[in-house]
Structure 1
Amino acid sequence: MTKQIAPALSPEALLGKSKAYISRALAAKNTKDMGEYQLWASLALELLGKWALAEIHPCLVADPQGNALLAAVGINVATDIKTITAKTVFERLGHVSKRFDKKTEEHCTTMSLKRNAELHSGEVPFAAVLPGAWEGRFWHTAAVILDIHGKDIEVWLGIDPAKAPKQLMADYTHAIEEAAKIRVETAADQFAKLTKAERNAAQAHAKGADPLDMRRSFKMFAEKVWAIECPACKSNAFLAGVCYGEEASDDDNDPFEELVDVLYVAEEFYCPACGLRLGSREEIEAVDLDVEHTETEARQREYEPDYGND
């Protein structure tokens, strides 16, 4: 018989509570209460981190003092079950995800310290902080944590794009855009830390990459892959997309061949030099890359047969 894990350590309960708190955060933002927005956001992020660890095993979020470790394996001997501190959560996430780097850990720790000061002292550390100073890194961090178990911000916010109300959809789009911008910034920082020889080698490798061979680097089945400059490291990078239309070319004067402009739209981005990935059209557009691509193809003209003339 499967032993039931206490709600304090349950991945499902932790994720559900995190979802509730991020909803409260966005509600506060929409009423222009920026202090409360940050407060609920910081709580939601810590719970999201605990969810990611508990999904691996509840022991990873159990306080080693007391009865929490017993509860983590389904042996409940008391109701007072404590979890690890926010600082420990963010330290452990760095061992779980390579994308959860030191800068991300520092951002999370700073946010939790401000949250503690807000709740447990007379200070008001969130009062004078504008969203632009923390929001992008926050959404990036949430995306990194969710990706540990293959989830995305859409799941966390609990929205169905086909049914989402206008404001919630706007919040979702903003979150995706801010996370994408920080992802580019992070990739640029990591690339800059390489030696000059390593950077040159990576860029030379990317320059010699063939678009056809790059198809295997994308999750989607791409109808077309084309080259573009990486916004992070300025190397040769690639967009993968699908065809969304064809038009007769204006330069079409050959009686035997017709020129057709085939229009593609990008769905994924990948840079083989710095490793930057963007997994949606919204993310690609957020970092000012053109999602549209046109190629002209020459095709043999097809004529309808003549009928009734023999």
Structure 2
Amino acid sequence: MNEAYDSGALWQKSRLFLNHAMDVEEFRTFDERALWASLALELLAKAALARVSPLLVAAPNEEGSNLLVAAGLTQGKGGFNSVTASTLFTRCAKAFRPFDVAEAKGISRARNDYLHGGAAVFSTIPEEAWWPRYWAQAAILINAQDRDIDELVGPDRVAIVEDYLARNKRNIEHRVEMLIARAAQRLKQYRDGVLPAKLFSEWNKTFDHGVSLSYSAIEKCPACGEEGEVEGDIVESSDVQYAQVNDDEWDVWANTTVLSDLFSCSTCKLVLDGSDLLAVAGISMEFVVVEDVGDMIEPEYGND
């Protein structure tokens, strides 16, 4: 297979780039190390997807040359065209839960600004906060390839990565605790009539968390105990059910299991965006919706 589409080759190159990012023998600024790490993250995403199928990383064109080479049907020695980093991360978010597409795209965007724009620094996020967030995403892509962290960074650096992962977990726990406490506090102030005027005006506006996903279900709010809403886009499974109404009629529906991505509560205005936050808050990681099977059956196209 062409190395450009080979999962093993992509993995080895990500190892090389992360070695540049973590090497302490040669001095590199945080900006330079973050740059190498961001390149490695994109390669890890490609490797994880290409391991499933090289077609997931090849950019389609009219002639189909990239796809044909990726599929191993032809041999190509020309330029390699892959899908964009944004597309890679979006696909990884759907395929390898709980990969955070927003976090990954933020890293990629910072890299592009640093390389191609006038940005003097790679990220405004302090280094001690940047690495835990980075490794939280990289670890998911490592696991997606059935590999261990030491295979990527070497046994001498595993403790460093595990420390970053532990810090990220604590940061998420603290963030969830803060969001829940703040939502409960604002609701109490509102009910007690002591909410500041500016916040009172904002509170009375129609609640809009800014995102509307394809599926939703009722879920108890961890801040106020009232009914909130959990939402998601990714269908995990769909189970078609039948029930006979009479001799000539049947009811047909599907119980569709959806992965949770967002929780919101119109009572206390709490919003938890991302499966990592939902897990810590005790929100169900999946929910079931009942769908009309007629919406799921493909129409006949009359090709007889």
TM-score, normalization by structure 1: 0.54
**Given the alignment of the two structures, is residue 70 of structure 1 paired with residue 72 of structure 2, yes or no?**
no
TM-score if structure 2 supplies the norm length? 0.55
Of 41, 53, 68, the residue aligned with 1:45 is 41
Question: 2:155 aligned with 1:156, yes or no?
Answer: no
Displacement of 1:130 in angstroms is 2.5
Output aligned runs, 1:131-210, within 5 Å.
131-157=127-153, 159-160=154-155, 169=156, 171-183=157-169, 185-186=171-172, 189=176, 195-196=220-221
Q: CA deviation at 1:151?
A: 1.6
Shift of 1:174: 2.1
What does 1:98-117 align with in structure 2 at a 5 Å threshold?
98-100=97-99, 104-117=100-113
Quick one: which amino acid aligns to residue 31 of structure 1? Answer: F
Provide the C-alpha distance between the structure 1 equivalents of 2:125 and 2:168, rounded to a whole number of angstroms.
19
| Counterpart position of 1:85 | 84
Q: Which residue of 1 aligns with 2:196?
A: none
% identical aligned pairs:
28
Distance 1:94 1:180, change over 3 A: same
Q: Answer whether contact 2:219 2:283 (CA < 8 A) is retained.
A: no
Q: 1:198 to 1:22 in 2, by over 3 A?
A: same
Residue 28 of structure 1 deviates from its aligned partner by 6.3
Structure-2 residue corresponding to 1:25: 21
Report how far residue 83 of structure 1 moved. 0.8
**Residues 183 and 129 of structure 1, relative CA distance in 2, 3 Å threshold:** closer
Query: 1:213 corresponds to which residue?
Result: none
Other structure's SS at 2:136 match:
helix
CA distance, structure 2, for counterparts of residue 8 and residue 137 of structure 1? 28
Decide whether the 8 Å contact of 1:63 with 1:84 is kept in 2.
yes
Q: Specify whether residues 72 and 186 from structure 1 end up closer, same or farther in structure 2 by C-alpha distance, changes over 3 A only.
A: farther
Q: Which runs of 4+ in 1 moved over 3 A?
A: 183-194, 196-200, 273-276
> Would the alpha carbon gap of residues 275 and 25 (structure 1) be closer, same or farther in structure 2, given more than 3 Å must change?
farther
Query: CA 1:125 to 1:198, structure 2 compared with 1: closer, same or farther past 3 Å?
Result: closer
Residues 1:71 and 1:34: Cα distance change in structure 2 (over 3 Å): same
Distance in 1 separating the partners of 2:4 and 2:124: 33
Q: 2:2 aligns with which of 3, 6, 21?
A: 6
Aligned-pair CA distance for 1:46: 0.6
Instruction: Give 1:77 shift.
Output: 4.1
CA-based RMSD: 3.3
Shift of 1:132: 2.0
Distance 1:177 1:130, change over 3 A: same
- 1:30/1:173 CA distance change after superposition, 3 Å: farther
Structure showing greater Rg: 1
Q: Could you tell me how far apart the structure 1 residues matched to 2:37 and 2:19 are?
A: 9
Give unpaired runs (5+ residues) of structure 1: 161-168, 201-270, 277-310
Q: CA deviation at 1:95?
A: 1.1
Aligned-pair distance for 1:145? Answer: 1.1
The residue number in structure 1 matching 2:260 is none
- 1:28/1:34 contact within 8 Å kept: no
Distance change in 2, residues 1:123/1:198 (3 Å): closer
- Structure 2: where are the runs of 5+ without partners? 181-217, 226-279, 286-304
Contact kept, 8 Å, 1:28 with 1:36, in 2: the verdict is: no
AA in 2 matched with 1:134:
W
C-alpha distance in 2, partners of 1:194/1:180? 29
Q: Which amino acid aligns with 1:119?
A: L
Count of matched residue pairs: 190
Separation (CA, whole Å) in 1 of partners of 2:170 and 2:164: 10
Asked if the contact 1:136–1:182 (Cα under 8 Å) also holds between the matched residues in 2, the reply is: yes
8 Å contact 1:34–1:130 — kept in the other structure? no
- Secondary structure class of the residue paired with 2:121: coil
CA distance in 2, matches of 1:194, 1:30: 52
Determine the C-alpha separation between the residues in 1 that align with 2:123 and 2:98. 30
1:142 and 1:60 map into 2 onto residues whose CA distance is 19
Q: What is the alpha-carbon distance in structure 2 between the residues aligned to residue 141 and residue 29 of structure 1?
A: 26
CA distance in structure 2 between the partners assigned to 1:142 and 1:96 by the alignment:
14
Change (3 A) 1:112 1:83: same
Structure 1 residues 182 and 93, CA gap change in structure 2 (3 angstroms): same
Alignment of 1:250-265 (within 5 A): none
